[in-house]
Each structure stands twice: as structure tokens, then as C-alpha cells.
Amino acid sequence: MRIAFLHIILSLFVTHAQTSDLLIKDLIEKNLTETIELRHWFHQNAELSNREFKTSKRIAQELKKIGLNPKTGIAKTGVVAVLNEGKPGPVVALRADIDGLPVKERADLPWASKMTGLYNGEEVPVMHACGHDTHTAILLATAKVLYNIKDQIPGQVKFIFQPAEEGPPPGEEGGAELMVKEGVLKNPDVDAIFGLHISSKSTVGQVLLKPGSIMAAVDEFRIDLTGAQTHGSTPWTGIDPIVTASQMINSIQTIVSRSMPLTTAAAVVTIGSIHGGVRSNIIPEKLYMLGTIRTLDNSMRATVLTRLDEIVQNVAAANNVKAEVTFMNSYPVTYNDPELYEKMLPTLMRVCGADNVNYMDAITGAEDFSFFQREVPGVYFFIGGTSKGMDLEKVAPHHTPDFYVDDSALETGIVSMTSLTLDYFTKGL
């Protein structure tokens, strides 16, 4: 008798889900042209981190058109709106990042970016070289779909449009960390959060994710070395920070190769910039290097940070050079809550097709969505952005001038975010 009853309940749930899926699909299709036009507008008007003034203004305008009451100026240029404000029940948050990058677009598009902005004191071209324009358009479309069925939602939905995911300018706070600090996950208190990222290296319609650590923690650092300037023809009369830096870089590479249990998780230490000296025959007094650390395990992260400082100080001391290590932007590991992942995976498989939803290996890229996940359970996933039939090996990667993702990817993002939200409520999580 009990088994028969459970079959009836399951049958009713499946029927309800199928009906809901058809309604969502219909609403998405009705608004798809508008969503694509919005995506093109955001792409054309790309802005740098903490400077997304036009972008946030347009987001607020679109939210008001939907019927929501957006709050602006969150974490400088962020926008937040709540559906069903004050309604009792669970609270689901959905997040999109909105900033562009200091990259000059090469793609031949009628809606290519011609924007410029100030980066490190210089005027630079700006483009959406990581797909944040698609994320923004997807979340706005999701908000519109959910607003149309708001009476069926037994709780509240918080839409978070986050600035500065690529990192705030030097000397400024920003991004998800600042949003959390300002209380974006409170009033109403968020129970779960979902986010996505488009990928040029996978095909439209594909969804990629995994439980646990999915993206690396990042720790950016600066190393300042001070020696004694002298003529290049008599190096023994000075203290050479350039030779010290070269020894230091080689030694730093042994952190991963000799101190990391790489069968546990991947780790990377990269020196990406070195600045020192002005002439071939002058040994400079000072030099600085910039680098990044990527780790997927908290214990390994702690070891890398310790070893980096030890190597820098010991190599510097061996060369009579003064050294200082400064840690800058830092993101935690992007970590998909395993329980929430298991409960929501069937939703993605149902609405995107089981064959299109695939397990992925963790990557050493980083995401400040991790700051939200550190506070509440969250699931972060990737959707394909390249047209079917394209050779993924030849597709331009993210953060490059030729980066491009197809408009047809938007539908997968909208149906995923909308369905995850509705199923979170209907499953009584």
C-alpha cells in the first residue's frame, strides 16, 4: 500500500515537472529575441571591474520593466532584486557577474565592443572576453520567467548582479567578497545559491559540473627585492636583485614539483610579471615580481603559502638582498556542496538531457562565487558556448581578443537557472 502511494506521489511530481518544463520553455522562447538583443547591448558596452556604471543602470532598468524593485550601488556597482519580497518559505539566490576585461576585441561582429576604460592608470580597450555579458542576459531572462510564475513559487528568489568578479582595481574592495561583507546573503537570508559560467571550450547544450572542489583557490602575490645599484661592468660593487630574482623563480617552481602531493589535487605557482632595470649596463637597486597561486585543497594551499615565503626569504638572504612578500587578491576554492549537488543534478539532466550533462575535472581557474559558497550551500556549473560542429581545439580561449560564444547558448543557461530554482522549492529542500 505504501509503495503504491509513493508511486502515485512520484507520478504526480513527474507530471508537474513536465508541465512546468513546457511552460518554462514557452516563456523562454517568447523572450529569446529580447534576451539576445540584451546580450548584444551588454557586450557592446563592456566595462571594467567596479566601473560598470552603464551596465548596472541598464540592469536596473530591465528589472523595473519586469516588475521588480532593484537596489543599486551594492558593492559599488552591483544590483540586487528580490522576487516575492517578504513571502515566507525558502530563499534561493541566483548570481551573474557583470564586468569586462582590458582586452581589445578582434571578432568581426556588428555588436563588437568599442569601449575603453582606465586600467592601472592607462586607457585600455575593454571587452567581455569571459562571457559575463551572457551571464547577465541569462539572469535577466530568468528573472522575467520566474516573475511570470511568481504565484507558483513558495518562497523568495534573490537576483544578484555582481561587479568586479575579475578583481577590483588596486586599493579597492569589490566583487563577491564585498557583497557578502555588505550582507547580500541576508534580509532575506539565503538558503542556497546557484551560478553558472559559459565556456567557449565546450559545445552549446552541454552542461559540465562536479561535486566538491570545482575551481581553484587563488592567491595573488607581489615580491619586492632591494639590492644595491651599480655599474653592470663591476657587479661585485653592488647587490644584484635580477640574479636573485632568477634564482628565486627557479626555486619557486619546486614548490609544486617537490612539496605538493599532486595525486591529491592540482596546484600551480606562476610568476607572470617581472619589472626591474632600465639599461643594459646598470644593475638596478630594486625589482618586483607579480605571481599567482592556484590550489584545490586547503591544506596544500597553506603549504604553498608557507613555502613561497620561506624560499623568497632564504634565496634573498643568500644573495644579501632584502625581500618582501605581499599577498593581494585572494579567493577561496569554488566548492559545490555535495548534498545540494546530488539533489539538483537530476534537474539539470531532465531539462538539458542526461547525455548533455557531464562530470568535469576540477580546473585551476578561479571564481569569486566561492565567497558566496563559503557562507551558504551553492552549486556552480558550466554551459557550452560554441556552436555544434566547431573544432573546440581551434576555438579561442577565454581572456583573449578572439573569444566568442554563440547566442544559442543562452537558452541552456536560462532553462538551467530557472529549473534549479523551481525544483529547489518543489523538492522541499
pLDDT digits (tens, 9 = 90+) for 280-301: 999 999 999 999 999 999 999 9
pLDDT of residue 428: 52
pLDDT of residue 18: 60
pLDDT tens digit sequence for 353-384: 999 999 999 999 999 999 999 999 999 999 99
pLDDT of residue 29: 95
In the chain, the domains with their CATH numbers are 2-210+360-426 (3.40.630.10), 217-331 (3.30.70.360)
**Which H helix or E strand runs over 215?**
strand 212-226
Cα–Cα dist 242/286, whole Å: 9
Percent of the chain with pLDDT over 70: 95
More confident residue, 4 or 305: 305
**Contact 166/99 with Cβ under 8 angstroms?**
yes
- Give CA torsion, residues 324, 329, 333, 335, to 10 deg: 170
Cα–Cα dist 309/312, whole Å: 5
Contacts of 21 (CB under 8 A, 6+ apart): 350, 351, 419
**Which H helix or E strand runs over 119?**
strand 116-119
Give the HSE-up count for residue 67: Cα atoms under 13 Å, Cβ half-sphere.
Answer: 11
Nearest to 146 by CA among 424, 349, 342: 424
If you average pLDDT over residues 345-358, what whole number do you get?
98
pLDDT of residue 365: 95
If you average pLDDT over residues 182-197, what whole number do you get?
98
pLDDT tens digit sequence for 13-64: 444 566 589 999 999 999 999 999 999 999 999 999 999 999 999 999 999 9
pLDDT band at 426 (very low <50, low <70, confident <90, very high): confident
Q: Is the pLDDT of residue 3 over 80?
A: no
pLDDT of residue 17: 63
pLDDT of residue 329: 86
Cα–Cα dist 169/51, whole Å: 10
